[in-house]
Amino acid sequence: MDRRKVSAFCDLFRCKASGYLPAMPDTIVIRPATTNDAAVIAEFNAAMALETEHKRLDPAILRAGVERAIALGDAARYFLADIDARVVGQLMITFEWSDWRNGMFWWIQSVYVHPEFRSRGIFKQLYRHVESLAKEADACGIRLYVERQNSAAQEVYKRLGMGDAGYAVFEMDWSKEKAEYRSPKPEPMINHE
């Protein structure tokens, strides 16, 4: 057998080099996040922001935001993908009321899959889990936003059946101003001479 074909076969099925037997697929467990997951979620959010938007997030504010989201529950919900009790992927859901549809849209945000576990169907399982829950809850649909330049993610979303909604996202972000108030400001130096 051609060595390249064997190599491609093994890469495709993640075979072990000896024996050419396909490796058993990893069992992916999808579960809601708990307060014990705040550190890994914050770590993943920081990695995602740096990777996709080239932004460095303030770790203290990020951790507090994750902890608050988990505590609130009704405003946002995180779902995690575990393999062998290790968190390998995540997404967060927020909710938007649509008066046009008399229903709730579930927004997918904070999507991240650890680089070692990409292209293994992690996000697909997270998405299908949330899709099922949204249908059970009688949501009117699922939405997400994606960076214009992130064509790889856009292709994944299209393969899952999502389409471009035709909207651009505009914002006014006050978080930078708030961050200044959250950080202690140095006391002015007083000259007593």
pLDDT at site 106: 97
pLDDT at site 192: 53
Site of tokens 């919900």: 77
Full pLDDT tens readout for the chain, 193 residues: 445 544 444 444 444 444 444 444 679 999 999 999 999 999 999 999 999 889 999 999 999 999 999 999 889 999 999 999 999 999 999 999 999 999 999 999 999 999 999 999 999 999 999 999 999 999 999 999 998 888 988 999 999 999 999 988 898 988 777 654 454 444 445 555 5
pLDDT at site 22: 45
Quote the tokens at residue 32: 């809601």
pLDDT at site 173: 87
pLDDT at site 190: 54
pLDDT at site 26: 79
pLDDT at site 114: 97
pLDDT at site 191: 52
pLDDT at site 59: 96
CATH architecture of 25-178: 3-Layer(aba) Sandwich (3.40)
